[in-house]
Structure 1
Amino acid sequence: MRLGSTPRRSPAHRPPTRRPLARLSAVAAAAVLVVAGCVPQEGQGPGETPSTGQSDNGGAGSGDGTTDGTSGDGQELATLGTSAAKDLPTDPAEDPAYAAYYEQDITWGPCDDVEGGSELECGTLTVPMVWNDPGAGDIDLAVARHAASGNRTGSLILNPGGPGGSGVDFTASAPFLFSRPVVDAYDIIGFDPRGVARSAGIQCLSDEETDEYLAGTGDMGTEDPLEEGLAWMKRIAEGCQQDSGELLPYLDTYSAARDMDVLRAAVDSEQLDYFGYSYGTYLGATYADLYPERVGKFVLDAALDPSSTLDEISAGQAEGFELATDAFLEDCLAQGDSCPFKGEPAEANQQLQNFFDSIEAQPLETSDPQRPLTVSLAQSAVLLLMYEDGLWQVGRDALAQGMQGDGSALLQIADLSSERQPDGSYKGNGMFAINAINCLDHPGIADQEWQAKEAERLAAEYPTFGPSMGYGATMCAQWPVPPLREPAPISAEGAGPIVVIGTTGDPATPYRWSQSLAEQLDDAVLLTFEGNGHTAYGRSGGCIEEAVDAYLLEGTTPQDGLTCSSGG
């Protein structure tokens, strides 16, 4: 059923009014991490075929789910290692060797280090570090609960995406994310996945080094931008290896999905009720494939296509963010004099490129004399704004200030993107965890010459962010652990019905990925939000929310093909 327009948001779905930058902070915490990389880096651009001397850990294909070590167009993929969590001889929930994990209870107490977490309770869940060797040591996962405020019907597990997003921090936003009836009925539970934030979070650079990395100001001893990017990736990999080398091979999504089954047992649920955003759809689909009989109510919003290779993900995002930039500029021009860009959309796009070029030549002064706005930071800020069209006014104002010579507002947005705090420390470790997880989960094309040609194509076709999204597989070649998973469809036969949601103007997870996942799953329905920005639930104006809430609260499966519009 197609709804040509959406109803006004009902009181049950209306979130409290928040200041624009406060709202932006919530967006940053929930969805800032791009699936294929943390932020645009100056060192990831087109150019000569790199000579890395590293193993061939590569990037993309047609996403048809071939499982013979090649991409859909016949290109050879990187050589794979083996996940310790994919294939186990027994169901751990029924195996005495795992009984101590599955029989544990979470001791809930205050959340002392969660901003806005006064309504939360926090605890710890212990899981095996190596799933096929439960005697090899443990990991303690941080868990948070927003207890049901009414008649409790169960627990709803969340993942905010990333990979690398903190589910503990995200759960503090539960009253803003969900309608009152859902908050009344469910204990809403988030966790920091292994290697993320409070759950044995990996650390790879000092705060000072991270500043240099994000600003693109570190002297890596090379004049070539690509070689500089490779040097940074190697430096990050070496730092991660030194800090967390024992853990790095076990940060794949298969392992995280196994952990989630222990969490299911710890909250006394026979089936897992789950809401995953962005990368969280990949984690949820992986769980459903491993444990189809334990799938309860599952909502996967802004899907990642499991059959995609790393380069295909990069290409999809380069296109998605280019289209989002075009939509932002068209909207800006429609505002008249308040828009810092002038003329036709193509002219506005060129003005934005010229602005970036000018900052690359001469960084802008900011309110912090020690931190000028570099082109890397400016692009990070603009990229973050593409996640939420409700923040485009913030973007217009920040860009207007920047084009008048003051980079303070854009720097503030860039800092929100990386979770940099006023004292110079970083709240999370998402920019490192995303590399650790993605490089394990997504192999790509091993041919370095192909990589160079693909990088040139992305830069030419998608000039805003395409130059920073090439060579993903080459970057992962620096990682100390090989990829562990083939790109392949997920059917989760026996699970369902699963609700998949896609947004037509989603820059980070293009709509066709949600279509693809819904087609792959054995029993799924696809909901479509016609709008801009990343994810749909909580942003659609009421239509998507009402359909999903009826599913969560009453078990009413939405009609497959339901389409909601952001228009009035």
Structure 2
Amino acid sequence: MRSRSRNSLLLALSAAACATALTVPAHAASTPHPGGLDWRPCTAENSAPGTECATLPVPLDYRKPGGPTVDIAVSRLRSDRPKARRGTLLLIAGGPGGSGVGDVAQQGEKVRKATKGVYDVVGIDPRGVGGSTGADCGVSADDRQLVDFRAWPRPDGDISEGVARARRVAEACARNGGDVLRSLTTRNEARDIDSFRKALGEDKLSAVGVSYGTYVGAVYAQMFPERTDRWVLDSSADPDPTRVARGWLANMSQAAEDAFPDFARWAADPARGEERLAERAEDVRPMFLALAAELDRKPRTFKDTGHRLTGNVLRQSLQMSLYDRERYPTVARLMRAARSGGDGPLTVADPYPEPLSQRDAAVFAGVVCNDVAWPRDVSSYERAVAADRARYPLTAGMPASITPCAFWKDRPAEKPTRITSQGPSNILMVQNLRDPSTPHRGALKMREALGDRARLLSVDAGGHGVWLDTGNACSDRAVSRFLVTGQRPAGDTLCKAEAPESPEAPAQRSK
């Protein structure tokens, strides 16, 4: 499903919501779970016809169910086959910061068709996101530029600028974030989903979680196992409760290495025409590394924004482009422009013309820093970055670098959730072998944690996101069949490239 949920496991980069994006303040309410929802037509542009939106008040703090509430934006696309309807299918967005309401607006009709109308398709904007009560840390625009917010090290590996920025962001969140920011956790998103289930009048939900949404889905299935029906986790990460997002970031180094050969083969294909970068795929990697190093020494300037094209901007563009083959031309054009002679401004478009929104920055920082405690010793990040740069030059140490969590004022209010094998066997995992964000080895950790509750369908493909996304007929058919009929593969299976007719024999799990 092509949507904002695929942009990053750890950072949503665009806005797409059916409901208003205005911040709604917390307010008192006599009942946290209304008996119904006031559904009205969604007004967002490009919403699927018939999509409805509503607002659900939920407790700001579930330990105080009669206290202040926050508003959660929700949406629904009803089944177009009422007699065939069997339940409700929730689209759990990625991020943190993705909009489930936006996913229904953009993808609801496609999902409804793939599942033969047996579900109402619904979405939720997590607290802080889209039409829900907003989050805002008051971070400066300079500190919200993506290539800075993600703490790419300097060309020599120094992270002192990233350390200072991480401290500023953490201090801004402590000053300005308030109770809403402190409430941003994966466990609270799971509770909000269950409040939505109650408001819908459903005994159980089915769901498709993508990217970070797989962790939300796994946490919900751990907290409310009896409320899960048919559960799909698409592009999962390692759920190790001691590391959570820190581990997800660290795994992106290997993930980029896994995915790069797909880009290299594409960039050497004669069919690329003017976008072709080399005659042989094996020449693309040294070309990229040399170009990034040259831009470290001598950045170029974008004519449209005046921003600099540095080595780290090029690396960032590559890392994000690996998510989807449709993005390959963006980094190819950037490389060709940067390799052109002269010192004049570049006419190619700046891939990151605007800073992250305040909401994206706040939700990212809030969720990943509230979920689990991060190391506070700066020297530990310096050592990790040095080792990561040497082993994975494509990402130059960024995945191991420091975040605002190192300076977060509040310790986590709850222990992170440990995903276990206790619960119904009703989960289908689906994962690309060469995922640039959530590597296959991380998904194997999720599979191991779930035990017999899950089956893993691996796909011989690159990119981030599988169902209705890669064009692989085998995986699309298997996921859709499970959602419609409940039938899963008998064991872990592999879908070959080129859309074979059926899954192959059980795949070997790597250690």
The verdict on a shared fold, with TM-score over 0.5 as the criterion, is yes
Query: Partner amino acid for 1:230?
Result: V
Of 40, 53, 62, which aligns to 1:122? 53
Do structure 1's residue 278 and structure 2's residue 211 form an aligned pair? yes
| CA 374–245 in structure 1, closer or farther in 2 if over 3 Å, else same | farther
- Mapped partners of 1:307, 1:232: distance in 2: 27
Query: Partner amino acid for 1:139?
Result: V
Q: What is the DSSP-based 3-state SS (H/G/I as helix, E as strand, rest coil) of the residue aligned with 1:298?
A: strand
Q: Residue 541 of structure 1 aligns with which residue?
A: 472
Q: Residue 469 of structure 1 aligns with which residue?
A: 399
| CA 477–426 in structure 1, closer or farther in 2 if over 3 Å, else same | closer
Do structure 1's residue 564 and structure 2's residue 495 form an aligned pair? yes
Specify every segment of 5 or more residues in structure 2 that has no aligned partner in the other structure, as ranges: 14-28, 500-511
Q: Residue 47 of structure 1 aligns with which residue?
A: none
Q: Residue 352 of structure 1 aligns with which residue?
A: 288
Q: Residue 59 of structure 1 aligns with which residue?
A: none
| CA 408–31 in structure 1, closer or farther in 2 if over 3 Å, else same | farther
Task: Note the alpha carbon deviations across 1:465-484, whole angstroms, 9 max, x for none.
Answer: 14212234x64112222245
- Mapped partners of 1:107, 1:225: distance in 2: 53
Q: Deviation of residue 313 (structure 1)?
A: 2.5
- Counterparts of 1:110-509 in structure 2, within 5 Å, are 110-113=41-44, 116=47, 119-151=50-82, 152-175=85-108, 177-178=110-111, 180-182=113-115, 184-205=117-138, 208-209=141-142, 212=145, 214=147, 225-307=158-240, 309=243, 310-335=245-270, 338=274, 341-342=277-278, 347-404=283-340, 407=346, 409=348, 411-412=350-351, 414-415=352-353, 420=354, 429-445=359-375, 448-472=378-402, 475-484=404-413, 489-491=418-420, 493-509=422-438
Check whether the contact 2:118–2:484 (CA below 8 A) recurs between aligned residues: yes
- Mapped partners of 2:429, 2:327: distance in 1: 25
Of 505, 514, 532, which aligns to 2:443? 514
Check whether the contact 1:441–1:483 (CA below 8 A) recurs between aligned residues: yes
User: What percentage of residue pairs aligned between the two structures are identical?
Assistant: 26
Query: Partner amino acid for 1:555?
Result: G
Query: Partner amino acid for 2:463?
Result: G
| CA 409–119 in structure 1, closer or farther in 2 if over 3 Å, else same | farther
Task: Note the alpha carbon deviations across 1:99-129, whole angstroms, 9 max, x for none.
Answer: 9333431111233345546552211011101
| CA 320–121 in structure 1, closer or farther in 2 if over 3 Å, else same | same
Q: Deviation of residue 210 (structure 1)?
A: 5.4
- Counterparts of 1:62-141 in structure 2, within 5 Å, are 100-113=31-44, 116=47, 119-141=50-72
- Mapped partners of 1:384, 1:566: distance in 2: 22
- Mapped partners of 2:297, 2:43: distance in 1: 44
Q: Residue 20 of structure 2 aligns with which residue?
A: none
- Mapped partners of 2:414, 2:62: distance in 1: 16
Q: What is the DSSP-based 3-state SS (H/G/I as helix, E as strand, rest coil) of the residue aligned with 1:165?
A: coil
- Counterparts of 1:20-31 in structure 2, within 5 Å, are 26-27=2-3, 29-31=4-6
Check whether the contact 1:197–1:430 (CA below 8 A) recurs between aligned residues: no
Check whether the contact 2:197–2:205 (CA below 8 A) recurs between aligned residues: yes
Q: What is the DSSP-based 3-state SS (H/G/I as helix, E as strand, rest coil) of the residue aligned with 2:76?
A: strand
Normalised by the length of structure 1, the TM-score is: 0.74
Which one is further off, 372-381 or 320-329?
A: 372-381
Task: Note the alpha carbon deviations across 1:437-456, whole angstroms, 9 max, x for none.
Answer: 11222444555544332221
- Mapped partners of 2:299, 2:376: distance in 1: 36
Task: Note the alpha carbon deviations across 1:415-434, whole angstroms, 9 max, x for none.
Answer: 5xxxx4xxxx8667323312
Task: Note the alpha carbon deviations across 1:493-526, whole angstroms, 9 max, x for none.
Answer: 2323111112110111111222222222251111
Q: What is the DSSP-based 3-state SS (H/G/I as helix, E as strand, rest coil) of the residue aligned with 2:179?
A: coil
Q: Work out the number of aligned pairs and report it.
A: 470
- Mapped partners of 1:484, 1:399: distance in 2: 45
Q: Residue 33 of structure 1 aligns with which residue?
A: 8
Query: Partner amino acid for 1:368?
Result: D
Query: Partner amino acid for 1:149?
Result: D
Query: Partner amino acid for 1:100?
Result: T
The alignment yields a C-alpha RMSD, in angstroms, of: 3.2
Q: Deviation of residue 564 (structure 1)?
A: 0.8
| CA 110–243 in structure 1, closer or farther in 2 if over 3 Å, else same | farther
Specify every segment of 5 or more residues in structure 1 that has no aligned partner in the other structure, as ranges: 1-14, 16-25, 40-97
Normalised by the length of structure 2, the TM-score is: 0.82
| CA 480–345 in structure 1, closer or farther in 2 if over 3 Å, else same | farther
Q: Which runs of 4+ in 1 moved over 6 A?
A: none
- Mapped partners of 1:557, 1:232: distance in 2: 47
